[in-house]
Amino acid sequence: MLLMVILFFHWHSNFLKKNSSSIFEDNSENYYEIKRIEREKMGNFRKSKTQIYKTDRSTITAVLNEFKELHLSEYEFYIKIGKYLLMTEQLFSLGFPEESLSGVCILNSHFPFSRSVPNFNKNKKARIRFEDCPDDILKMRVFEQTCARCGTEFYLTSAGYLTHERCYYHYGKLKYQWRDGNQDSVFTCCGRPFNSKGCSVGQLHVWSGLERGLNDNLEGFVRTQPRTNLWVSPGIYALDCEMCYTIKGMELCKVTVVDMEGRRLYNSFVKPEYYVIDYNTRFSGVTERDVAIFGKTLSQVQQELLTFIHEDTILVGHSLNNDSRALKIVHKNFIDIALVFPHERGYPYRYSLKQLTLRCLKKEIQSSDYGHNSFEDAVSCIELLLWKIVQDIREEEQ
Ligand SMILES: [Zn+2]
Ligand SMILES: [Zn+2]
């Protein structure tokens, strides 16, 4: 069953145009003039605490150099990557937010928000201590959710949690191994077996996904807008978001955008709307302090992003459906790296970004103890796309 929610779109009239990647030569007379004006306009943003538009060049060298040697024009490049753009018909089924003909936002509620976790506490149900619940809560509808970390079923209402118990979970993945002729499975975090008590503890169980009556109040979605200046190219950017667990499921806590040369265009922490249970720092790399000091509201971040991400901008990323839902941005032009390199077992299986960069780029990412680095992840998406284009052209030449 599909979930339909009426939304009010916020319109942004005051656009700041951002020049896109400079991999390509652009000989139009106005180009440099436009660039100069844009730089002046961007001055305001530079003063921001979160270092927006800081041009921080990464180590995207080998693939970029190989790509540059192809001497593709911008037009040729767009043709080459065109086949990897998701088709409009695919977007909804893949879980991207969509806009219906009548202008409402529709979301496929069957599409899960985040990674799946070994459900090792399956069938374990938490208790509700009804004697502790105020009368008004007892009158509310009780929802049952499965903890995204430990698999325990727990209870909540739209007003908050009914189950107040600690969550013992394994943050690692299950690894299957053969021992003495038998196959068994252990967690990569601690080496303990499948049925063991979790090696990490959280203050509450957590959940992800979309649940009608709990977090389907989808106000605050915005739509990318047409470019007001057609002299500048629409831009191809990679996007990476980090999410945290709140009492209302998962929410955005950081967003990073890089350009085709691996330069950081935008980087901001985002204040979640609801009470945060866990910043998921081990994976997100985001801490409570980061968000408290540097966090902006989602609405601020959307407005800033829409100044350079336009209707025809191409956004590249890994599992971008999660990012576009968390950012609450309705957009059409996506290249999802997870689908550029389809899994051998077919969809919905996906290779992780870590697996892809290791296999194609021979590069190890996400190996830090301090969580993912959204900048590194976004740059890897650009590198993988360029790598793929180089491979495609080589195959065509053979
Ligand atoms: Zn463990
Ligand atoms: Zn749990």
Write out pLDDT tens, residues 279-332.
988 888 899 999 999 999 999 999 999 999 999 999 999 999 989 989 999 999
Q: Are residues 246 and 388 in the same domain?
A: yes
Task: Using pLDDT thresholds of 50, 70 and 90, give the confidence band for residue 158.
Answer: confident
Q: Are residues 293 and 378 in the same domain?
A: yes
Q: How many angstroms separate the alpha carbon of residue 251 from the centre of ligand 2?
A: 18
**pLDDT of res. 101:** 74
Q: How many angstroms separate the alpha carbon of residue 194 from the centre of ligand 1?
A: 9
Name the closest ligand to CA 200: 1
Q: Are residues 247 and 320 in the same domain?
A: yes
Which of 158, 176, 202 delimits the end of a domain?
Answer: 202
Q: How many angstroms separate the alpha carbon of residue 168 from the centre of ligand 2?
A: 6
Would 257 be classed as within a structural domain? yes
Name the closest ligand to CA 201: 2
Q: How many angstroms separate the alpha carbon of residue 126 from the centre of ligand 2?
A: 9
Q: How many angstroms separate the alpha carbon of residue 173 from the centre of ligand 1?
A: 8
Q: Are residues 194 and 262 in the same domain?
A: no
Task: Using pLDDT thresholds of 50, 70 and 90, give the confidence band for residue 214.
Answer: confident
For residues 157 and 141, give the distance between their C-alpha atoms in angstroms, rounded to a whole number.
Answer: 6
Q: Which amino acid is at 160?
A: G
Q: Are residues 145 and 243 in the same domain?
A: no
Percent of the chain predicted with pLDDT > 70? 77
Q: How many angstroms separate the alpha carbon of residue 364 from the centre of ligand 2?
A: 30
Q: Are residues 266 and 370 in the same domain?
A: yes
Q: How many angstroms separate the alpha carbon of residue 197 from the centre of ligand 1?
A: 8
Q: How many angstroms separate the alpha carbon of residue 287 from the centre of ligand 1?
A: 21
State residue 35 phi and psi, 5-degree precision. Answer: -60, -40
Would 16 be classed as within a structural domain? no
Residue 252 pLDDT exceeds 60:
yes
For residues 234 and 226, give the distance between their C-alpha atoms in angstroms, rounded to a whole number.
Answer: 9
Name the closest ligand to CA 173: 1
Kindly report the number of other CB atoms within 10 A of residue 89's CB atom: 7
Q: Are residues 230 and 334 in the same domain?
A: yes
Would 6 be classed as within a structural domain? no
Name the closest ligand to CA 168: 2
For residues 398 and 396, give the distance between their C-alpha atoms in angstroms, rounded to a whole number.
Answer: 6
**pLDDT of res. 58:** 46
Would 121 be classed as within a structural domain? no
Q: Are residues 311 and 372 in the same domain?
A: yes
**pLDDT of res. 346:** 82
**pLDDT of res. 374:** 86
CA-nearest of 320, 342, 352, 322 to 333 is 320
For residues 268 and 282, give the distance between their C-alpha atoms in angstroms, rounded to a whole number.
Answer: 18
Residues 220 and 299 sit within 8 Å (Cβ to Cβ): yes
Domain count, the chain: 2
For residues 322 and 328, give the distance between their C-alpha atoms in angstroms, rounded to a whole number.
Answer: 10
Which of 144, 175, 202 delimits the end of a domain?
Answer: 202
Residues 315 and 332 sit within 8 Å (Cβ to Cβ): no
Task: Using pLDDT thresholds of 50, 70 and 90, give the confidence band for residue 361.
Answer: confident
CA-nearest of 250, 287, 291 to 270 is 291
For 396, residues 6+ apart whose C-beta sits below 8 A from its C-beta are none
> What is the average pLDDT across 7-33?
32
> What is the average pLDDT across 182-197?
86
Name the closest ligand to CA 121: 2
**pLDDT of res. 46:** 35
Please report, for the domain that includes residue 70, its CATH number: 3.30.420.10
Q: Are strands 222-223 and 329-330 parallel, antiparallel or unpaired?
A: parallel
More reliable by pLDDT, 43 or 221:
221
**pLDDT of res. 381:** 94
Question: For 363-378, what is each residue's pLDDT tens digit?
Answer: 877 765 555 688 889 9
Q: Are residues 257 and 173 in the same domain?
A: no
Q: What is the mean pLDDT of the chain?
A: 78
Would 71 be classed as within a structural domain? yes
For residues 350 and 318, give the distance between their C-alpha atoms in angstroms, rounded to a whole number.
Answer: 10
Would 228 be classed as within a structural domain? yes
Which of 202, 225, 247 delimits the end of a domain?
Answer: 202
Would 263 be classed as within a structural domain? yes
Q: How many angstroms separate the alpha carbon of residue 174 from the centre of ligand 1?
A: 9
Q: How many angstroms separate the alpha carbon of residue 320 from the centre of ligand 2?
A: 26
Q: How many angstroms separate the alpha carbon of residue 203 from the centre of ligand 2?
A: 9
Spell out the SS3 assignment of the chain: CCEEECCCCCCCCCCCCCCCCCCCCCCCCHHHHHHHHHHHHHHHHHCCCCCCCCCCECCCCHHHHHHHCCCCCHHHHHHHHHCCCCCHHHHHHCCCCEECCCCCEEECCCCCCCCCCCCCCCCCECCCCHHHCCHHHHCCCCEEEECCCCCCEEEEECCEECCCCCEEECCCCEEEEEECCEEEEEECCCCCECCCCCCEEECCCCCCCCCCCCCCCCCCCEECCCCCCCCCCCCEEEEEEEEEEECCEEEEEEEEEECCCCEEEEEEEECCCCCEEECCHHHHCCCHHHHHHHCECHHHHHHHHCCCCCCCCEEEECCHHHHHHHHCEECCCEEEHHHHCCCCCCCCCCCCHHHHHHHHHCCCCCCCCCCCCHHHHHHHHHHHHHHHHHHHHHHHHC
Q: Are residues 363 and 240 in the same domain?
A: yes
Name the closest ligand to CA 125: 2
Q: In Å, how far are 18, 255, 325, 369 from 242, measured between CA atoms?
A: 24, 6, 12, 16
Name the closest ligand to CA 278: 2
As residues whose CB is below 5 A from the ion ligand 1, the structure lists 170, 187, 189-190, 199
Q: How many angstroms separate the alpha carbon of residue 383 from the centre of ligand 2?
A: 36
Name the closest ligand to CA 196: 1
Q: Are residues 68 and 192 in the same domain?
A: no
Q: How many angstroms separate the alpha carbon of residue 167 from the centre of ligand 2?
A: 4
Q: How many angstroms separate the alpha carbon of residue 244 from the centre of ligand 2?
A: 15
**pLDDT of res. 42:** 35
**pLDDT of res. 269:** 95
Q: Are residues 105 and 150 in the same domain?
A: no
For residues 55 and 259, give the distance between their C-alpha atoms in angstroms, rounded to a whole number.
Answer: 10
Would 8 be classed as within a structural domain? no
With 0-12 / 13-18 / 19 or more C-beta atoms within 10 angstroms meaning exposed / middle / buried, residue 327 is buried
More reliable by pLDDT, 5 or 214:
214
Long-range pairs of 291-295 with CB within 8 A, sequence gap ≥ 24: 291/253, 293/49, 294/49, 294/50, 294/268, 294/269, 295/253, 295/269, 295/270, 295/271
> Domain range spanning residue 76?
29-112+217-397
CA-nearest of 96, 82, 94, 88 to 385 is 82
Q: How many angstroms separate the alpha carbon of residue 175 from the centre of ligand 1?
A: 11
What token pair was written down for 47?
């003063």
